[in-house]
Amino acid sequence: MYIHVRYTMYMAALSTSITRFRKEIFSLADAALKGNVVEFVHKGVKFKVIPEGPTDKLSNITPLQFVNPDYHLESAGAELQAEMEKEWEKDWSQL
């Protein structure tokens, strides 16, 4: 027995009337680009607005600000390694 499951990569649907859809077409189109399924009803028929192809999810990522731009990861790595070696030597001296 096969059970067909349709996986959708879109978030919850936004349902609206045709009047609201007409008034807010650009913001609803942006919502569809972000992965929401936008639905509207006209004369009893439900329509869905979804992007034709997959949307680029990486373009929605907001870059994070550095907490301290003067702090360099290279020096942090060297400091961490020196601290680890010190602890190893302490542990090894007890053997």
Domain ranges of the chain: 11-51+63-93
Q: Is 37 left (phi over 0), alpha (psi -120 to 50) or beta?
A: beta
Nearest CA-CA partner of 51 in 70, 30, 72:
30
> If pLDDT is split at 50, 70 and 90, which confidence band does 7 have?
very low
- CA–CA separation, 44 vs 4, rounded Å? 28
| pLDDT, tens digit (0-9, with 9 covering 90-100), for 47-91 | 888 877 766 667 667 777 766 767 777 777 888 889 999 999 988
- CA–CA separation, 39 vs 35, rounded Å? 13
pTM: predicted TM-score of the whole model, two decimal places: 0.42
